[in-house]
């Protein structure tokens, strides 16, 4: 039986991915897989989503063996239902700061009895197959990934309560917004920021849930992996392409 994303990350494996925000052609899923990534998320908070292309992107991700997540712009029924019905394997939610936000996210993303996600079976998330609804819903509740982004000190302050919600799998630190909210924009070596990152890792470990972080510095991400972080986001489609071009032209 093939290991799922959750099997791998819950076993302690460090999984590397990236963020797509501009390039949503289905072939991107295969390209990222062949390049060595384990996962990606498409950003609909700052990106420009095309529903038809995203359906194809997530379908190609499943066929290619890479986990395709989606970052929603906010927690509401329309965004969550649409994201999962399009075929995303899970949700990355920006700036979760309270237990109430986490609870509402899970309520919308999980089927009964864990939540109240609407049942609509013959859609991209099922591959348009006729499936046993109860069996599919049980599998979806088990495998759908819920990641809460930590982007403010308030979220970290409430992290114990956020992680206590059944259905929240882990967190992803967003350094840009986090340092902005701390008044130390992009000072990734600032003692207060580093202490906060350590606090997130410790809290996640105590709850037996994964922690993660995004960044452009791959060696720094690898150091975080050595410390126990398991969800590592290396750059974005735009930054990786531009960095590769600049590096090549400078040689």
Catalytic residues: 46
**Is the distance from CB of 67 to CB of 89 less than 8 angstroms?**
yes
Residue 41 belongs to what H/E stretch? strand 39-43
Taking the C-alpha atoms of residue 150 and residue 152, their distance in angstroms, rounded to an integer, is: 6
Residues 200/217, Cβ–Cβ less than 8 Å: no
**Nearest residue to 102 (alpha-carbon basis) of 138, 140, 146, 72:** 146
Q: Which residues contact 130 (CB under 8 A, 6 or more apart)?
A: 121, 122
Phi then psi for residue 99, to 5 deg, are -60, -40
CA distances to 94, 190, 232, 237 from 205, rounded to whole Å, are 21, 23, 16, 30
Angle at which helix 77-85 crosses helix 99-109, to 10 degrees, equals 40
Q: From CA 68, how far away is CA 19, in angstroms rounded?
A: 10
Is the torsion defined by CA of 49, 72, 139, 3 positive or negative? positive
The residues, any chain, with a CB within 8 Å of residue 203's CB and separated by 6 or more, are 156, 159, 160, 163
């Amino acid at each position: 039986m093939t290991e799922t994303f959750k099997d791998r990350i819950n076993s302690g494996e460090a999984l590397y991915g990236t963020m797509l925000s501009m390039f949503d052609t289905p072939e991107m899923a295969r390209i990222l897989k062949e390049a060595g990534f384990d996962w990606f998320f498409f950003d609909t908070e700052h990106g420009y989503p095309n529903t038809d292309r995203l359906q194809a992107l997530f379908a190609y991700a499943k066929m290619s063996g890479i986990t395709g997540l989606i970052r929603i712009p906010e927690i509401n029924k329309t965004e969550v239902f649409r994201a999962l019905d399009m075929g995303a394997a899970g949700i990355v939610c920006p700036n979760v700061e309270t237990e109430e936000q986490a609870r509402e996210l899970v309520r919308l993303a999980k089927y009964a009895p864990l939540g109240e996600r609407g049942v609509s079976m013959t859609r991209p998330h099922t591959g348009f197959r006729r499936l046993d609804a109860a069996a599919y819903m049980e599998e979806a509740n088990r495998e759908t990934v819920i990641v809460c982004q930590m982007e403010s000190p308030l979220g970290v302050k409430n992290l114990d309560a956020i992680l206590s919600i059944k259905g929240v799998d882990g967190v992803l630190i967003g350094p840009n917004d986090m340092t902005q909210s701390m008044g130390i924009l992009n000072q990734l070596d600032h003692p207060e920021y580093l202490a906060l990152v350590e606090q997130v890792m410790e809290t996640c470990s105590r709850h037996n849930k994964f922690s993660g972080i995004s960044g452009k510095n791959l060696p720094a991400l690898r150091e975080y992996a050595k410390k126990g972080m398991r969800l590592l986001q290396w750059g974005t489609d735009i930054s990786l392409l531009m960095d590769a071009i600049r590096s090549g032209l400078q040689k």
